[in-house]
């Protein structure tokens, strides 16, 4: 899990309208440039996508772990990651590879 200072707050979601969006097969990422040291991340799993809280929390924990693992690739970016249906069925390493491809492609 990321430290609380590195996660979005409610008022940070208002800025999401200004973010760029990248779609992948299992999630989409909204991102914008921020000053170094002010990077924040939000992982969103809708209850309409996955009904069980166990499933939503599992995906959320996995993605927060991957985001922390790839901290150097997300420097200078605020990220909002929203899962699509079908993401629970793929292996953890495939989610990581998908995230890494997007972050590398969008790195400065």
Q: What is the pLDDT of residues 71-93, one digit of tens each?
A: 888 788 888 899 999 888 899 89
Q: Are 21 and 81 in contact (CB under 8 A)?
A: no
Number of domains the chain is built from: 1
Q: What is the pLDDT of residues 3-50, one digit of tens each?
A: 787 887 777 777 777 788 899 999 988 888 888 888 888 898 999 999
75-85 burial, b if ≥16 CB within 10 A, otherwise e?
Answer: eebbbbbbbee
pTM (2 decimals)?
0.83
Average pLDDT of the chain, as a whole number: 85
Range of the domain at 89: 4-105
CATH number at residue 81: 3.30.230.10
pLDDT at 77: 83
pLDDT at 55: 92
């Amino acid at each position: 899990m990321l430290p609380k200072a590195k996660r979005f707050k409610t008022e940070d979601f208002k800025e999401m309208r200004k973010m760029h969006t990248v779609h992948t097969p299992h999630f989409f990422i909204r991102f914008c440039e921020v000053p170094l040291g002010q990077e924040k991340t939000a992982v969103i799993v809708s209850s309409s996508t996955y009904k069980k809280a166990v499933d939503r929390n599992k995906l959320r924990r996995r993605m927060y772990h991957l985001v922390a693992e790839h901290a150097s690739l997300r420097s200078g970016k605020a990220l909002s990651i929203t899962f699509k249906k079908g993401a629970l069925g793929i292996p953890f390493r495939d989610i990581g590879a998908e995230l890494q491809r997007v972050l590398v492609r969008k790195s400065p």
